[in-house]
Every structure is written in structure tokens, then in C-alpha cells.
Structure 1
Amino acid sequence: MKKQTNVRLLVATIGVGLLLLTGGCGSQKTAATSVEEQYIPVEVLPAAVQTLVETTNFSGKINSDQDLSLVPKMPGKVSSVHIQVGDKVSAGTVLFTLDTTDLQKAVDMASFGVRSAETNYQRTKEQIDLAKTNLERQQQLFAAGAISKAQLETAESQASETPLQLVQIQWDQAKVSLQQAQEGLGNAVMTAPAEGTVTAVNVKPGEMASSALPSVTLTQLNALNVTLNVPENIVNSLKVGEEAKVTIPSAEAQELTGRISNIAPAADARTMLYAIKVAIDNPEGKIKPGMFAKVEIATKSRSDVLAVNSEAIVTKNGKSLVYVVENEMAVEKEVTIGLDTGAKVEITKGLNSGEQVMIKGQTLVGQGSKVKIVGGSQS
């Protein structure tokens, strides 16, 4: 009985040993497999030849080059105002009128002066015509010896046209005075010289209107511009006609496309900045002078250059590096960078077109690290 018990213990011991041996071998195999399958997941994009554009953002103010500040040609008391702020007017629309009482009196007096001068001219002409007829008779009598030389000279003096020339000048002057008076009367009615929107009305009935203050301001709102101020290191990179992206938050408008319409040839003496204007259309009239705008303008560009995403650049020990994938391994490459647009970076040296450049996971790898591409684009 004791012998059977010992045999059973021996069999159990051998079984446990075999089980432990088998389990140990399995663990070693799993660990080896884990080591073989270790890698760093990365995303890649191929280095490619493309055009890079660097843009700069500015803030500016909306205004109109076609603001018309209207003043009466002559001062006077306002009798009526026919418009208000916000009205859209066309050329010839009556804006306001001045009192015409004194102006009409001036016209009446000038008209009387013209009639008087004309009457004087006609009377003088008749007198000279009679004097010329008398001169012909006096000349015949003088030839016959019937009158003296002095009598002939008197007749010649009376027939002179000099007095007629003088009254002609007086008549012409009277006509000019009438024309001026009539123009003054006409100027009592202020009309719009062009199409526009009324943005200011500074006169009221009963008040005096003069050239000291614009009576009415008109603005053409369908075509406006943004005025910007740029530094000297940027102004020479801008060109008239170049496109610009314009955003006006207060107008709740979508991004607009404007064009540079003017570049100041000299800097402002106070700010040392150069004023430029970006023209924009305003077909819906939502944009108003005085609003602020954000403008994005291309200030640098490079064509046909090799470029990568800016996030691909890793800086180590003052060097610019990228990591590319070759045979599922990370390969470190030192590169020289050129234009940096923020999103893209120009590579001038150290990289070839088409190489798979890491854009994610690149900070986790080193030379020779085993990697696996899990995202991005490989072509």
C-alpha cells in the first residue's frame, strides 16, 4: 500500500513538471513574438513640387473715394430740404433749396438794366444814323463852298460811332450782370451731381447754408475700398491689381475678393508706413464706410519648389530634420528650409521629391526605428 502511494506521488510530480515546462516554453514564444511585432505607427505625405504662397494679414478701415461734400455756390437761408440720411439719389435730384427772395430781386434789377442799356443803344444808334445822313449833306455843301470847314468837322463829329461803341459795352455788361443773377437764382436749388447715398445732412429750413460746412454728403456705396498701412519690408512685394481676401465681420458678409487699387509712393511722415487701397464691390450695400476689415494679401511666393508640411520639420541641436520611411524603417535626414508659409515649408536641400515624409509620429522615432504607416498618403 505504501508502494502504491509513492508511485502516485512520483507520477503527479512528473505531471506538474511537464506542465510547468510546457507553460514556460509558451511564454518565451509569446515574448519573442511581441518583440518581433513592436513598431511605431506614423502618418506620411510624399514630398512634392508645388507653388508656395506666404500671406500677411492686415486690418484696415472701409471708406469711399467717391464721397461728395456739397456746399452751395453762394450763401443763403435754407427754405426747404428734400432728402434725409440713407436716401439713394440719382444725378439731378433736388437736395435742398435756398430762399430766392433777394435772388429774384437781383434778377429783376439786372433785367431792367439790360432793357435800359438796350434802349440807350437803340437811341444812340438812331442819333448816329441821322448824323451820318446829315454828314453826307454837309459834305456836298462844303464841296459847293456853302459851309465852312468848321461846320463840316462838327457834322463829322456828330456822325462818329464812338458813342455807339460805349453804349454797346454798357449793354454787354448789363447782359453779363443778368446772367450772373440768373445763375445765382439757379444755384438756390442744390441738386445731386452724381448718383449716391446720402450719408450726412447738415442743413435745416431757416438756417444759413454756406461753404464753411458741407450741407450734404453723398457717398457711392456700390464701390468701396479698404485703406491699409504696410511697412517698408512688404510694400515692394505688392502690386496694383493683385488680389486680396477681405473679411468684414460687422457686415456679416462672406469672404470677398478685392484688388489693390493704389499704393502710396511715399511713407507717412508720422508712422513711416505706406498707405495702400484695396477696392471691393458692395452690390448689396451691407458694407458701410467706417467699418473695419481684415485683409489677407500674398506677400511672397515660390513656384516649382519641393515642399513638405511644416509639421514634418523636427528641430534637434539647432538642425532641421525630417524622417522618411524606407523599408518600414525611419531614416533621419537633415534638410535646409526656405520659404515657410506656416502650413508648408520649402526644402532647398536634403530631400527628394516623392520620399515618404512623416507628418505624425516623427517626434517619437529615431534613426532606424521600426515604423508602420497607418495614415496619410503615400502617393
Structure 2
Amino acid sequence: MRAGKFLFVVPPIFFIFTSCFSKKNDSAQTFRAASVNTVIAKEEAKDTKISTFGTVSYKTKHDVSSLVEGSVQNLFAKEGDFVRKGQKLAVLRNVQMENQKEQYENALCSAEASLSVALSKLREEELSVQSRLLSLEKQELSIRQKEIEYENACQIHRNNEELHKLGGITDVSFKSEELSLQSQKTSIDIAKKEKQISSLGLTDSDIVLMGYAIPDSIEEKNKLLVKLNTRSVQAQIQSAKASVSNAEKSLQSINRLIEELTVKAGVEGIIGARNFEEGEYVAANAAVFTILNTSSVYAVFSIQEKDILKYHEETPVNIELPSINKSLSSVISEISPFADPQSGNFTVKALLNNFDRSIKPGIFVKSTILQTDNPVFVVLPETAVIQSNQDKNRNIVYTVKNGCVVLQNVEIDSIENGKAWIKSGIKEGTVVIDKPSPFLKEGENVVTN
């Protein structure tokens, strides 16, 4: 009986004990901390390169024009042709200039003929003056001879005068002798007068009167007298030379203008435009051709307004030219000072060397712009950042501090390739819950995995 009573009582006690133990375990399950996956926030330098598309443009262009008007007579180049500096591109014609050139050529011939006549006349005048000088010398010798003869005749007459007194000479003979002496005296006087007339302009007084000193030698004196007595002809020569010079200058001027009718390339490059055809009239200074200098070209592309402050001149750029299977490295050489009013983009240029002329203006380019000083951000997986339900502009991360959930507001720079680049809100080393449950609440205990 006792043994049976004992066995009967034990099962209820065991049941009560088992039941209490089960209730205790249920209470522990109720307060167990949630298990979460976490990541550690890290700092990384963000590669801020961007890729954009554009086209190739010429570096400079040069309008080739003529300083004078005319009609197109010949064309030697077409659009797309490569031309070198100084190469003949076209020839114009101006009939008025051709007629004017003929007039100037005739004027030059006339002036040269006048100069030739004046030079001949000068030679004749010089010979004439030299002849006069020689004639004066001859007259001087003749006068001296006559004076000697006259002195001799006078001496004879004086001797005969004694004979006449003695009756040795008749009165008729003596009288005839006196008349002969008088004739000789008159002849000498006439010769002196003739010499005086012939020496007009050839005397020492004439030299002094013209402001010159009398030369010491006869030869120099005669040269000076020739020069002084041919001044009028020398003036004619100077006038004729001036006429020749003016005619030559006029002809040179018209020739230079006619040379402008031959249109030549001022630079090396590609003909980008031919603005006239044969037979068409070309006004003065009108552009006949436009030459594009392609020894260097620009890769032209656009950068969005939000990115423009990240880049500056000398920023490295990689340029790809798919059509010619070519890649080049360059730097930004120009940035437009203002944005396009329609797209809001800024135009950017990078200079490319093109010595082989393989890069043609207008072809497609792909540009990758690099940044040398990459900014540093705190990086998290994109799945760790939650957008607030109350404020769409508010971004939240669930951090873990001392085993509890703490919500942190963060400012995001960008989300790229599954990464969130965070400007502010958390620091490197912060423990952040990845893919947080929407049922997690701030302050809740969690267990990290």
C-alpha cells in the first residue's frame, strides 16, 4: 500500500516541475536579442572619372581671300583637299587692272625715252662746253700770236719812220704801213672781244658767283665749268629720272595687286570650304576658301553642371577614337565660361596632336576625364542605407553601439555600383547593420553576426 501511494504521488510532482521549467524557457525566448548582419564603415578614395561623348573639331581656321576684286578664272583645289602653305588655290581676273598695267608700262617706256634723250642732250652739252673751253684756249693762242706780230710790225714801223724822214720810203708806203698796223690792232681788239663773248659763263667770276671756290688745277676747273654750264640739262635728267621712278612704282604697285589675283594658301591644312566657282565674281577681301588647320585638333565634349567644379584645365583626359581604332592621352585645355542655356552642360576641349592627319574633324570621340585629387568618403553597401518614410530626402543607417540599435542620419554623395558614398553622419569603423529589418527599432538589443 505504501509503495503504491508513493508511486501515485510522484507523477503529479514531476509534471508540475516539468511544467514550470517549460514556462521559464518560454520567457527566455521572449527576451532573446535579434540576430543581425553588420558591416564596418570604411574610408575609400572615390574614383571620380566620368565618361562622355563628343566630336573632333579643328583647332584654327584661316579664310583665304584676295585684296582685290575679280572673277574666278581657274580653281585648283576642292573641299577636303590637303594644301600646303603658299600653294596656288585659284586665279582671278580683273580686266581694269590689266588695262591699267598696259598704261603704266607705256608711261614707263615714255619716261625712259625722255631720260635717254636728256642723257644724250647732257652729253652734247658737255661736249659743247668742252669745245668752248678749247676754243677759248685757241683764241688765247691766236691773240698772243697776233700781239707778237703786231709788236714786231710796230718795231719795223718805227724803224721805217726814220727812213721815211730821210726819204728812203715814200709817203704812200709809209701810210700803207700805218694802216696795216691799225688793222692789226683792230684785229687784236676784235679777237679779244670774241674771246670775251666766248668765255661768258666760263670765267672765274662765274664760278665765284655760283658759290664755288676756284679750283687750283685747270682740269678740275674745267670739270666744274662743264657742270655749271649743263645745269639745265641735268635738271631735265632729274625730272626724267623722277618720271621713270614714278612709272616704275606705279607698275610695281599694279603688279602687286595683280599678284593678289592669284589666291594662295596662307597656312597648311585641309580645305574646309570653297565659296566660289569658276566665272563667279569675287568682291575684295571676300573669303574664297576656308582652310582648317588640322596639325592639332580639339576633342570637344560636354560635362554636366553638377560635375564641372570637379575639373579644371590640365585635368588628364583619355580620348578614344573608335572609327580609327586609336587612343590618346591629353589634358583639358579649355572649359567654356558659361553653360549651354538649353542643356545646362559646359563645353570642354582637349588638344590632340595630329601630325599624321589621321584624325578628321567631325569624327566621334569617347572621353574619360580623370581627377588627380580623388575625394575620400565613408563607404557602405547600398543595402545598408534606408530612406526615411517620413522624409524622402532623409537617409538613415542602423548602427550598433553596446549591443543596441542606434539610428544615424547620413548625407550621401552618390550611390554607384552597389556602394553608398557618404559625405557625413558616420565615421570610419562604425558598425552598421546591413539589410536591416523594417521591424527593428532604435534601442533594441541585437546580436551581430
**TM-score of the two chains, using structure 2 as the length reference:** 0.54
AA aligned opposite 1:332:
V
Q: CA deviation at 1:324?
A: 4.5
Which residue pairs with 1:346 in the alignment?
A: 423
Which residue pairs with 1:159 in the alignment?
A: 231
Which residue pairs with 1:6 in the alignment?
A: none
Contact 1:308 1:346 in 2 (8 A): no
Q: Deviations over 1:252-287 (max 9, x none)?
A: 99997654334577x79x99x998651343764354
Query: For residues 137-152 of structure 1, what are the structure 2 equivalents within 5 Å?
Result: 145=196, 146-148=198-200
Contact 2:55 2:300 in 1 (8 A): yes
Query: For residues 210-289 of structure 1, what are the structure 2 equivalents within 5 Å?
Result: 210-211=283-284, 213-221=286-294, 223-224=297-298, 226=300, 239-243=312-316, 259-262=331-334, 278-281=349-352, 284-288=358-362
- 2:271 paired residue among 198, 212, 217: 198
Asked if 1:79 is matched to 2:73, the reply is yes
Q: CA deviation at 1:75?
A: 1.6
AA aligned opposite 2:350:
A
Counterparts of 1:256 and 1:341, CA distance in 2: 29
Counterparts of 1:288 and 1:371, CA distance in 2: 62
Residues 107 and 224 of structure 1, relative CA distance in 2, 3 Å threshold:
farther
Q: Secondary structure at the match of 1:220?
A: strand
Q: CA deviation at 1:223?
A: 0.5
AA aligned opposite 1:47:
K
Q: CA deviation at 1:109?
A: 4.5
Asked if 1:47 is matched to 2:42, the reply is yes
AA aligned opposite 1:86:
G
Q: CA deviation at 1:182?
A: 2.9
Superposed CA RMSD = 5.6
Counterparts of 1:275 and 1:134, CA distance in 2: 90
Q: CA deviation at 1:361?
A: 1.2
Which residue pairs with 1:307 in the alignment?
A: 378
Q: For the pair shown, which has the larger CA radius of gyration, 1 or 2?
A: 2
Counterparts of 1:301 and 1:186, CA distance in 2: 58
Which residue pairs with 2:397 in the alignment?
A: 322
Query: For residues 84-123 of structure 1, what are the structure 2 equivalents within 5 Å?
Result: 84-99=78-93, 106-123=100-117
Q: Deviations over 1:60-118 (max 9, x none)?
A: 88643412222223221212223332233333443222247665555455444434433
Which residue pairs with 1:4 in the alignment?
A: none
Contact 2:92 2:261 in 1 (8 A): yes
Give unpaired runs (5+ residues) of structure 1: 1-17, 374-379
Which residue pairs with 1:5 in the alignment?
A: none
Q: Secondary structure at the match of 2:359?
A: coil
Q: Deviations over 1:339-359 (max 9, x none)?
A: 835643333x641x344555x
Counterparts of 1:214 and 1:366, CA distance in 2: 77
Q: Secondary structure at the match of 2:63?
A: strand
Q: CA deviation at 1:183?
A: 2.8
Asked if 1:361 is matched to 2:435, the reply is yes
Contact 1:321 1:332 in 2 (8 A): no
Counterparts of 2:126 and 2:445, CA distance in 1: 126
Which residue pairs with 1:125 in the alignment?
A: 119
Counterparts of 1:184 and 1:297, CA distance in 2: 51
Contact 1:53 1:301 in 2 (8 A): no
If each structure's helix is expressed as a fraction of its own residues, which one has the higher value? Answer: 2
AA aligned opposite 2:277:
K
Q: Deviations over 1:229-273 (max 9, x none)?
A: 998x99887643334577999x799997654334577x79x99x9
Residues 39 and 275 of structure 1, relative CA distance in 2, 3 Å threshold:
closer
**TM-score of the two chains, using structure 1 as the length reference:** 0.61
Counterparts of 1:165 and 1:225, CA distance in 2: 65
Counterparts of 1:199 and 1:83, CA distance in 2: 11
Q: How many residues align?
A: 338
- 2:282 paired residue among 209, 215, 218: 209
Counterparts of 1:172 and 1:215, CA distance in 2: 35
